[in-house]
Structure 1
């Protein structure tokens, strides 16, 4: 009888510990709504560690910039569905927009309409020149952007990157967080290559954010990959998942894995 009581007590304690230590971010990453292909990339994108580093909580208003197909949206939507708010600032589309961007936005909107976990998401638009109001000013707790800075630089230059960061600054509350993950070029790299390689220098990104009014609070090696030297025939797209060279040296680039990435946490100073 005493043995049975000890077993029941141990089981109860285990349940209690599990309930107390259950992490909302971990649960969101494990969500059944995420595909097996998406979860296979966790090894390189490290969503749990990244969102914890940025300080994302379930009751925040979070703006995700250019969510693409929704890889991070799947996690954020689950995390914020009960007590928070998720705004996805997707591609800005007009008559001159390339079909790739139009089709990406169309597929995302269809998913918002048909995919139950996306039911509470608000979709807005962002462009470094044509759409800078991603949400009501001063209302967001966090703005997150994953591997997008190079796109703004390649298409709109330094001014486009600074305008982007200023838009995010305006969207945030005082004390709000800007979380940036970006493909990282070594400090010794050629600045001109930032226009075509998909890699950006850390100092450049930090300077652009500071020019917008942000302060760098912390940086992390969560998404670093020391095997990536950022020098590839087709830039960052040489590596997985793009594998732009197709079968040429495929094993070599698969062995390197996804790109080396900087992970930077900026804060909008308190008023």
Structure 2
């Protein structure tokens, strides 16, 4: 999988439930949705909530059927935008676990160092923002998850990170880790910048931030998962997904700075696929 480029032949592999058009879309309980709505109104989110219009956390977590008594892994949480929602939401009855990028060949050294430092500092920073106890927020370096987590996790959430795992050649390794810790019937939720179906393999290999939806589905299913369903909660048809500077042309990165800034701010954040998979036996 080094320097992994999505192969067109992958789509031809017969996979159980490959399209899953008839799959029943999971629905969050009304009680859980009320609790989530309270968290989304939390004062610690005063700055983050401005991006809800692009990231749709209520709709996304409802589609992923994340209940407050679950054990949930958030992979590569970065600055903790989703963590500030998940940790308080799960604090009373569930368990929130942050998993950083792996210390593995293929991952650039700078990212690996940041992941190690992030794993150490993450619980304290999250506790400071949310008012939770840092002791209740475990953080691990990906690829080194303890065996005690095997078959215990209800959900693994991977938000806007699959493109990096693909281009670094570690996606198969990490999917094996997620599958190991998920309990039987546990599910994997993915949000990812979406390339057009006819985008070239060179453009949609992760280096521009975009991946083709069917490529992601085929690849994840080849690693021991089945597609449960899709959601358009994070779709943005205004994104042409063909930017020379990749997804970072759009907000929040705005790679071109003030050049055509109003245009890109008018488009908003990227068009994103939202996919839910179940661990196969």
Specify if TM > 0.5.
Answer: yes
Distance 1:22 1:214, change over 3 A: closer
Number of equivalent positions = 244
Which residue number corresponds to residue 140 of structure 1?
A: 153
Distance 1:63 1:150, change over 3 A: same
8 A Cα contact 1:89 1:134, kept in partner: no
Who is 1:235 aligned against? 246
Are residues 105 and 139 of structure 1, via their aligned partners in 2, closer, same or farther at CA, if it must alter by over 3 Å?
closer
Note the residue ranges of structure 1 that are not aligned, 5 or more in a row: 1-18
The alpha carbon displacement at 1:110 in A equals: 4.0
Displacement of 1:237 in angstroms is 0.4
Matches within 5 A, 1:157-168: 160-168=170-178
Give the aligned partner of residue 152 of structure 1. 165
Offset, 1:112 = 4.1
Structure 2 residue runs of 5 or longer lacking an equivalent are 1-29
1:85 aligns with 2:95: yes
For residue 79 of structure 2, give the secondary structure of its aligned residue in structure 1: coil
1:51 shift after superposition: 0.2
Residue of structure 2 aligned with 1:67, choices 64, 77, 89? 77
Is the aligned partner of 1:225 residue 2:236? yes
User: Paired residue for 2:266, among 252, 255, 270?
Assistant: 255
Question: Is residue 212 from structure 1 mapped to residue 220 from structure 2 by the alignment?
Answer: no
Question: Greater relative contact order: 1 or 2 (C-alpha under 8 angstroms, separation 6 or more)?
Answer: 2
Q: Does the 8 Å CA contact 1:124/1:135 hold for their aligned counterparts?
A: no
Q: Secondary structure of the residue that 1:33 maps to in structure 2?
A: helix
Give the match's secondary structure for 2:266: helix
Change (3 A) 1:118 1:247: farther
Alpha-carbon distance in 2 for matches of 1:22, 1:144 = 18
1:187 counterpart = 2:197: yes
Q: State the partner residue of 2:141.
A: 125
Aligned positions of 1:23-34 closer than 5 A: 23-34=34-45
User: Residues of 1 paired with 2:269 and 2:117: CA distance?
Assistant: 25
Matched-pair contact (CA < 8 Å) for 1:240–1:254: yes
C-alpha separation in 1, matches of 2:159 and 2:79: 12
**CA shift for structure 1 position 114:** 3.9
Structure (1 or 2) with the larger CA radius of gyration: 1
Deviation of 1:100 after TM superposition, in Å, equals 5.0
Aligned-pair distance for 1:211?
1.1
